[in-house]
Amino acid sequence: MKSLIVFLCLVMSCMVANAAKTFVYCSEASPKIFNPQLGTDGPTFNASSRPIYNRLLEFKAGTTEVIPSLAESWTVNDKGTLYTFKLRKNVKFHTTTFFKPTRSFNADDVLFSFDRMRLKEHPYHKVNGGLYQYFDGMNMGALLKNIKKLDDYTISFELTKPEAPFLANLAMDFASILSKEYGDFLAKKNQKDKIDLEPVGTGPFIFKKYVKDNVIRYTANKEYFLGAPNLDNLIFSITPDANVRFQKLKAGECHFIAEPSPADIPKIESDKKFKVESADGLNVGYLAFNTRKKPFDNVLVRQAINLALNRDAYIEAIYLGKAKKAKNPIPPTMWSYNKNVKAYEYNPEKAKKLLAQAGYKNGFSAELWTLPVSRPYNPNGKRMGEMMQADLAKIGIKIKLVTYKWAEYLKRAANGEHTLLQLGWTGDNGDPDNFLNTLLGCDAVENGSNFAKWCDKKFQYHIEQAKIVTQLDQRIKHYMKAQEIFKNQAPWVTLAHSTVFKAMSKKVKGYKASPFGAESFYGVVLE
Amino acid sequence: MIKILRQRFFAFFPTLLGVSLLAFSLIRLAPGDPVMLMLGERGGTPEVYEKMRTSLGLDQPILWQYLKYIGQVLTGDFGTSIVSQRPVLEEFFDRFPATVELGLSGMIFAILLGVPFGLISAAKRKSPVDYTLMGGALLGYSMPIFWWALVLIMFFSVNLGWTPVSGRVSVMYDVEAVTGFLFIDSWFSEDSWEIFKSGLHHLLLPALVLGTIPLAVVARMTRSSLLEVLREDYIRTARAKGLNEKRVIVTHALKNALIPIVTVIGLMLGTVLTGAILTETIFSWPGIGRWFVASVEARDYPVIQGGIILIALTIMLVNLIVDLIYVWVNPLLREHS
């Protein structure tokens, strides 16, 4: 009898072990395409670059730390203009029903991937629209002087000028590595467009099928160079409505849901079957002054408004307490964050005095543009605008709230038509340059992402120096100084750094929430 | 019948031209620039902005863009989506079967319940049954669809666990798309019966939600149309001949009352077959309504233009079919044509 029980137990444990582990992620939107070089949105990155592809360098799970991936090691010359990468050997591209690779990853694939984006004459440059928004937006074309294959497993990137954030840039989604062999195979069949629709990468999951607006299927890459994933199948069930995603989680139709509504977080936390994991978001919500328009060209006015806004109240009402009050333009989790900068306290009396000192004793009237879309850095722009209107009325500033449709809002703001503008930013690569230079640098005034239209010579000097020097301690010093200048000159009111929440079944183990808000299910175990 | 077909054929081209002109100009008059939406908070240098405009063909004069577009449409090319970079026609037909399945199911539900409800109400006029059914119809007509769908999901899917929350079929089944129609494709799969059942199971709530308003309209229309017919002399004659009330209503009155009912059903069919935006969004139904709204949000000009023309074509086709049925139902028209 005992032996029979042991036998039955063994059979049952074998059955459990053999049962395919299928993980269902209820995502919020359809991917636009399966190539991160051509995308800019979270759903596209979550469905392509994270499961399917790798990059030369990656961000360590749950952090902004850059670690080796397809590149095992690298060296930088003294000038900081030549980066040489040693590539990992025996990394296999996916074998799928539509392509069987005959060779492992090598330098040709790196050249193919970057040349597609940077060279207009490349046979794949114009395929599927040929809009490489991140690559172009970050001016990578102008930065990359040359990319040279030194041997099959060594490749060098020559830059036109020193650029310290370059390594972090290479860990971004758009820098994913595609298979040249697959590209050649499709070109021969005259089916180049399929490279971005039926993707082949080196990542932990193999693309199987996409049913438009419905479901994406992946299988585990058992030959993944960092070890096979713990899941056998990965499914993205596309569910656009946040309420319905929550109901699907409750009904057991998905293990993990994208972007839970902040109002549902307490309900999910209180249910024993689910858990919520959070990470400090790599973001900032702000109110920008158009420093080229009166009276916001006057630093005293800007400081007065900083003192007049009760940001604690906004965090409670708008972010439901799930955010940190911001004092710097970069989030506290980012290296070089200046803890010593003194935040503007809520002090309407002092604000009134500063206004009087600036020559506006009786206040003035101004327009405040409220964010027309919900973003993690500002979930309800209109409500926040109303609260700001009430706060500013106390110091004599009459605010008229204005808003436009999102595209129109961005266009008019880029043209500098605003006076006070709500906006925010979610970081791409964990480098302070991605906030301080992208949002506050003098070049960004023309680029349209410096909405304060603020160009301060001293600030500019420090952020430029921080790009040139490669020693981290030197970069930190420059960024610390830049934050002090920013605080004193107050081109923005820094509002909040919101927390990123992830809701999932308790069966999900080993998930690490990314500060970028990205979803990666490699390393996840389903119990 | 041939006359109707001839009339429709000649009306087809001016209608198409009018629809295309409207679609083309309205979306361009609406505020919002697709390039700015693509750039987002990041912005871009004027060179990057121009490069994007050029590659999307938006740098050309508007009139030229329109003429080029019309030329393309006449050759069956509806352009390429800015967002997915796939041909609009391919994108449309990838999603259309899902919309047709849902729309037809919703309408079948509405007709199967709406006509009998209207009949009973008319037969039991001014009785508690009539008040209950017509009160229910009024409630169904005025119910916010979004709220109604969520209530049904919470009750049937989450609390009772009888129906799935959303989707077209269980994600565990990998159905090979042969025709795009799940209930046909399921028979080409290994687990055909299981997939068919799962599809049916998934269809229940969305069809019920989508069919709620048509059900209310059909019921009310059946009732009022029938009451009108029941006042006619020939009905009085039928009753005088001693026919029972059931036979009077079903055999004599209903046939003549059908004409306005068919018209209403036709109109509603056109609407549900061209995408039920809210129902498709809530039930994660991969149809054209959801696709179309996402395209409007992204200012995906080719999809909006092409989508409107394709939707107009669908409505024209449905109306033609309804008109042909109308002729068949109405002997007067049959003789006339």
- Under DSSP, the state recorded for B87 is B
| Pick among B148, B171, B173, B293 to test the A interface (most A CBs inside 10 A) | B171
For residue B203, the distance in angstroms to the closest alpha carbon of chain A comes to 14
Please tell me the predicted confidence (pLDDT) of residue B274. 75
Burial code (b: 16+ CB inside 10 Å, e: under 16) for B82-98 equals bbbbbbbbebbebbbbb
Q: Which A-chain residues 447-476 have CB contacts (< 8 A) with chain B?
A: 447-449
Q: Mean pLDDT of all residues in chain A?
A: 91
Q: Which CATH class is domain A32-206?
A: alpha beta
Q: Which A-chain residues 229-258 have CB contacts (< 8 A) with chain B?
A: 235, 237-241, 243-244, 247-248, 250-251, 253
Q: Which of the listed ranges A127-136, B96-105, B238-247 does the model predict with the highest average pLDDT?
A: B96-105
Please tell me the predicted confidence (pLDDT) of residue A16. 40
pLDDT at A2 over 60: no
Q: With bands split at pLDDT 50, 70 and 90, how would you rate the model's confidence at A19?
A: low
Pairs of CB atoms within 8 A across A/B: 148
Asked if the C-beta of A402 comes within 8 angstroms of chain B's C-beta atoms, the answer is: no
Please tell me the predicted confidence (pLDDT) of residue A8. 46
The two three-digit tokens of residue B222, written as one number: 């059946």
Please tell me the predicted confidence (pLDDT) of residue A228. 96
Per residue in A79-110, pLDDT tens? 889 999 999 999 999 999 999 999 999 999 99
Nearest-10 Cα torsion for B12, B14, B20, B25: -160
Give mean pLDDT, residues A487-508.
93
Q: With bands split at pLDDT 50, 70 and 90, how would you rate the model's confidence at B30?
A: confident
Per residue in A252-273, pLDDT tens? 999 999 988 878 888 899 999 9
The Cβ of residue B167 has, within 10 Å, a number of other Cβ atoms equal to: 24
Per residue in B208-218, pLDDT tens? 999 999 999 99
Q: With bands split at pLDDT 50, 70 and 90, how would you rate the model's confidence at A12?
A: very low
Q: Which CATH architecture has domain B96-298?
A: Orthogonal Bundle (1.10)
Q: With bands split at pLDDT 50, 70 and 90, how would you rate the model's confidence at A446?
A: confident
Per residue in A217-245, pLDDT tens? 999 999 999 999 999 999 999 998 888 99
Among A89-103, A410-424, B51-65, the least confident range: B51-65
pLDDT at A441 over 60: yes
Nearest residue of chain A to residue B154 (CA atoms): A247
Q: Mean pLDDT of all residues in chain B?
A: 86
The partner residue sitting opposite B164, judged by closest CB among A243, A253, A447, is: A253
Q: What does the DSSP assignment read for B189-242?
A: STTHHHHHHHHHHHHHHHHHHHHHHHHHHHHHHHHHHHHHHHTSHHHHHHHHTT
Quick check: B172 and A22 CB within 8 A? Answer: yes
Report which secondary-structure segment, H or E, holds A234.
strand A233-238
CA distance A169 to A177: 13
Distance between start and end Cα atoms, chain B: 6
Per residue in B120-156, pLDDT tens? 999 888 899 999 999 999 998 888 888 999 999 999 9
What residue segments make up the domains of chain A, in order of their start? Answer: 32-206, 283-499
The two three-digit tokens of residue B305, written as one number: 């233009």
pLDDT at A1 over 70: no
pLDDT at A75 over 60: yes
Residue type at position B142: S
Q: With bands split at pLDDT 50, 70 and 90, how would you rate the model's confidence at B190?
A: confident
pLDDT at B337 over 60: no
Residues written for chain B = 337
Among 3.10.105.10, 3.40.50.10190, 3.30.750.24, 2.30.30.790, name the CATH number for the domain at A283-499. 3.10.105.10
Nearest residue of chain B to residue A252 (CA atoms): B158
Quick check: A247 and B154 CB within 8 A? Answer: yes
Give mean pLDDT, residues B31-41.
74
The partner residue sitting opposite B40, judged by closest CB among A38, A193, A410, is: A410
Per residue in A346-393, pLDDT tens? 999 999 999 999 999 999 999 999 998 888 899 899 999 999 999 999
| Pick among B27, B29, B39, B58 to test the A interface (most A CBs inside 10 A) | B39
Per residue in A140-196, pLDDT tens? 988 999 999 999 999 999 999 999 899 999 999 999 999 999 999 999 999 999 999
The partner residue sitting opposite B43, judged by closest CB among A33, A209, A447, is: A447
Among B30-34, B62-66, B297-301, the least confident range: B30-34
Burial code (b: 16+ CB inside 10 Å, e: under 16) for B249-263 equals beebbbebbbebbbb
- Residues β-bridged to residue A273: none
Quick check: B48 and A30 CB within 8 A? Answer: no
CA distance A371 to A497: 16
Q: With bands split at pLDDT 50, 70 and 90, how would you rate the model's confidence at A11?
A: very low
Please tell me the predicted confidence (pLDDT) of residue A144. 95
CA distance B221 to B191: 42
Per CB-CB distance under 8 Å, the chain A contacts of B205 are none
The partner residue sitting opposite A405, judged by closest CB among B32, B86, B153, is: B32
Put simply, whether the predicted model's pTM sits higher than 0.90 gets the answer no
Please tell me the predicted confidence (pLDDT) of residue A266. 87
Please tell me the predicted confidence (pLDDT) of residue A76. 92
Per residue in A51-62, pLDDT tens? 999 999 999 888
Give mean pLDDT, residues A487-505.
93
Q: With bands split at pLDDT 50, 70 and 90, how would you rate the model's confidence at B336?
A: low
Quick check: A251 and B94 CB within 8 A? Answer: no
pLDDT at B43 over 50: yes
A353 against A63, higher pLDDT = A353
pLDDT at B227 over 80: yes
pLDDT at A200 over 90: yes
